[in-house]
Structure 1
């Protein structure tokens, strides 16, 4: 199916693929796109922390950086005594490190408390470039604000130093912090333009194209849809759902110098929040992944808290929704919020998916109902740590669940994984 093109305000055409309502109407759980049920692990390795969105320190080619035998994960964290629903209000970047990809050790804060922009820092990515460190993040709110605001800018802290020895990994500053991009109001909606329930300009993801050598930054945004527009057939309620996957390019390759580009994919009339976009290149195909929520789909559509994805022949090419609908990996119907913030990455020729253990044992409650539970129950029903890693089968425009690894298992480069049991796959067109 060829994606449509979205007209810009002046009537011209922008090289942006669209996730259409027709495609999203095909979203459904099948036997081969649902993750297994997650149960609480026997031991919580970091009981003092809530841990959620996580990414890895990578090199320019996208592989996980090796620091004297250690790999590094960066996560949004908050003190575990805080109610889980309040964790985003105090989110702090911390790092963890592992030699075997199974046992993770707690590091410290990435930045000193007074260094970074914003009253708190949300998700991003991390680059280790021939000894140089770049920690990309979302600067949310303003430092020192008395009441939380939701202004969002794409930022980076670079410089600093790292010591990696037999004892572990330690990052230290000072880091030089820069605001890299703010919304332009043309390609990407400003907060003042927003009419929806959620405003986004966040989640910077560094990506260097292995085919072209060009350096890019992907991010989450919203496409401006003026009031009175004929988008979505003029349906104002649907127009508020206007998420997009943004792109910026560094012509020089400088990881701090970016020029805004049109979005890669727009979800106008479909979904308002296309979070943490990232790309995995496999067999010459560009797999563009994004997590999203059931409550961020436009009226008349029914999606899930799930990982969604698209595929194209080149980064700025025409994207097709994976599995005809865009749905890649859903939570099970009886545990619809058990995991979130999925991150796909390559292990050899396989694609694996990391996420965090979210809310479980809700017994039919929605996320909005969680706040009505006693505080002790809110705490008990939040996992707040690494979830089991899912093995994803990929064949062209189709994906399926191949199996699952242990909690937070990120295989080492030389680790051989057992051949998984491959269940009979269900196809969106009705099977074999």
Structure 2
């Protein structure tokens, strides 16, 4: 596909590819981008912990790893008796495993002595020699009496999986601080005058076209006071999210050099969370999650998965579906899911997320704090939600269905026919399939 077919590339600050205000102004809910309503599962699989940001053990080629028949994932967790809003202050990475892609088991905390006061999201690599690397965000300074919010990108090596007697992930792990912001391409914490500072969410990617090894991460673009970016409007310049990237010259998962960002959103959005790439049909699909409250004044977005596409990893990215919106929650359940992560399966792209707050349609997530503690606990999902099924073609995407809670298909697993395929075959019944097309009008809002 040519650049002309994808659309015109646009540049952000310093000539980097950017998400523009004009593009983001087109964001709106459509049938192709709104996920079905999510309800709690009848039985929660891992009731002892809250579970949110999740990532899967992947091979170097980006496919989900299968280790002696096991799927493996890692999640941020906290005790399930903790008020959900406090979970980020004690977040711990735990490992979960499954031999059927539906029923998952708790392998416990991954690290005995990780860096940071708590750990935030990252990624995981199952290397060709069977070794396991974990990339994560070390939040806060270990040993500090009070909570601090410094963020460091960390890599842990030395992991291995033993399946001789069930499943076990063990070390000894060695932890390495991998990257620091340079203050020029990536904002340092002491430069920040913004609502939220970010230097986190490392995500490993080996380019199938070039063999080069990369680490993506969430960051902020430095915008000095008085800059003429966004017409000199300081209120817009404070919204300065970016997708950062570093390269490993040798392919060593623990040795990286900073490079110019892939994409920035100065004047558009302050947080481009958990950036990751899906390579498909010769194109690079860059996905990020973001919140409605991190869009700049004058723009209206949602808690949603956003995406962009380019012909090469360092190319000019254009927004999917013209605005960047790929998948969001229904209007009457705007916070039911978050922290989406896309991955390829057969001829589809699946999108996993966690089940966030349901039975709640407040205008902002801050309104959760106004509820009683018992209501906050009741309305928090705290588990893996149903994976969405995406049809992806060029710069367009379409939600075509969803799977059950915790269902992450095994390699080669055939998924049920979608409503679209049933219609094509003349076997669709709008009132009986229970599929995506059978949602009520209220659920589509």
Report the TM-score when normalising by structure 2. 0.92
C-alpha deviation, 1:252, in angstroms: 0.7
CA–CA separation in structure 2 for the residues paired with 1:196 and 1:275: 16
- Secondary structure of the equivalent of 1:371? helix
C-alpha deviation, 1:302, in angstroms: 0.2
Residues 1:124 and 2:130 aligned together: no
**Of 230, 233, 246, which aligns to 1:232?**
230
Aligned counterpart, 1:47: 47
Aligned counterpart, 1:412: 410
CA–CA separation in structure 2 for the residues paired with 1:128 and 1:413: 15
Q: How does 1:239-278 map to 2 (within 5 A)?
A: 239-278=237-276
Alignment check: 8 A CA contact 1:247 1:260 kept: yes
Alignment check: 8 A CA contact 2:13 2:229 kept: no
- Secondary structure of the equivalent of 1:279? strand
Unaligned runs of 5+ in 1: 9-13, 425-432
Aligned counterpart, 2:65: 65
Q: More strand per residue: 1 or 2? A: 1
- Secondary structure of the equivalent of 1:218? strand
Alignment check: 8 A CA contact 1:3 1:19 kept: no
Q: How does 1:379-398 map to 2 (within 5 A)?
A: 379-398=377-396
Residues 1:17 and 2:17 aligned together: yes
CA–CA separation in structure 1 for the residues paired with 2:168 and 2:185: 39
Higher mean C-alpha displacement, 62-71 vs 389-398: 62-71
Q: More helix per residue: 1 or 2? A: 2
Report the TM-score when normalising by structure 1. 0.94
Aligned counterpart, 2:139: 140
C-alpha deviation, 1:373, in angstroms: 1.1
Q: How does 1:58-137 map to 2 (within 5 A)?
A: 58-112=58-112, 115-129=113-127, 130-137=129-136
CA–CA separation in structure 1 for the residues paired with 2:150 and 2:414: 45
CA–CA separation in structure 1 for the residues paired with 2:389 and 2:287: 15
C-alpha deviation, 1:419, in angstroms: 2.0
**Of 154, 173, 176, which aligns to 2:174?**
176
C-alpha deviation, 1:45, in angstroms: 1.0
Unaligned runs of 5+ in 2: 1-6, 421-435, 438-445
Aligned counterpart, 1:4: 10
CA–CA separation in structure 1 for the residues paired with 2:298 and 2:412: 47
C-alpha deviation, 1:166, in angstroms: 5.5
Alignment check: 8 A CA contact 2:309 2:395 kept: yes
CA–CA separation in structure 1 for the residues paired with 2:9 and 2:137: 30
Alignment check: 8 A CA contact 2:239 2:269 kept: yes
Paired positions, count: 415
| Root-mean-square deviation (Å) | 1.2
C-alpha deviation, 1:165, in angstroms: 3.5
C-alpha deviation, 1:366, in angstroms: 2.4
Alignment check: 8 A CA contact 2:351 2:389 kept: yes
